[in-house]
Amino acid sequence: MPLPPISLAGKRALVTGGASGIGAVTARIWRELGASVAIADITADGLSRVAGDIGATALTPGDVRVETDVDRMVDEAAAALGGLDLVFNSAGLADAITATVDQDIDRWQRVLDTNLRGTYLVCRAAARIMLPQRSGAIVNVASVNGTGGFPRRTAYGASKAGVMLVTRALACEWGGSGIRVNAVAPGYIRTPMVDQLIADKKIDVKRIEDRTPLGRLGAPEEVAQAAAFLVSDWAPYITGTVLYVDGGWTAFGGAGDVATA
């Protein structure tokens, strides 16, 4: 009997941070795989444009840092889609990347609140729907920054390490109730977030390429496909894992460039 192709047909999915970058592309690819999708974001503009382009539901904009916004967005998604089976937590914010002694604590806290508190709040609200139905799959977005130490990025790295631990803890707590919780950990992916860091000269593309075994930055599609696998029926025994989508970044432990190490 041949295996069926990966499909999300009949699944009802919420994608946060869906107005841009990895979230927008994931919403599109999950739609193409057959899911009905509701997208959430803090910004109204990109949200309605992306939703219109891919045939998704644009939720009333909201802030994942705010408990009442999150509860409302999750309920709105479930009401619009007729239930909730899948969640992709892509809403996120980069560090300012300045010397730690010069960092603004309000900005530091905002990164933690967006990436860690926001992910936690969305998982919690989604589980209130998934636990009674005894099924569901969630993918959180961590980062290679949550594993290795990156100078000048204490908030972002701490938030993404936290996302990995929240993922593992929730996988253990909810596994017996039929809910799987996993994370993807992207390396450098060409999105508006990374384009801004390049424009601000905060990161050097050539040096990143030389440090990456596959020799290039990633595409949002490559993260979206990994996340689709994790929520699909192809991954029924996978929970609590962090899947690196990083071109080999975390595998490399040599000095300098991969080619000359």
The residue ranges that bind ligand NAD (CB under 6 A) are 17, 19-23, 41-43, 46, 63-65, 90-93, 114-115, 118, 141, 143, 186, 188-189, 191-194
Q: Which is nearer to ligand NAD, 174 or 244 (CB)?
A: 244
Distance CA 35, CA 18 (A): 15
Smallest distance from ligand NAD to CB 238, Å: 20
Q: Which is nearer to ligand NAD, 63 or 75 (CB)?
A: 63
Smallest distance from ligand NAD to CB 213, Å: 16
Smallest distance from ligand NAD to CB 227, Å: 10
Q: Which of 156, 188, 237, 244 is catalytic?
A: 156
Smallest distance from ligand NAD to CB 177, Å: 26
Q: Which is nearer to ligand NAD, 92 or 136 (CB)?
A: 92
Query: Do the beta carbons of residue 123 and residue 138 sit within 8 Å?
Result: yes
Distance CA 178, CA 171 (A): 10
Distance CA 129, CA 202 (A): 41
- Whether 188 is a known active-site residue: answer no
Q: Which is nearer to ligand NAD, 178 or 192 (CB)?
A: 192
The C-alpha angle with vertex 50 and arms to 232 and 156, in degrees rounded to 5, equals: 70
Active site residues: 156
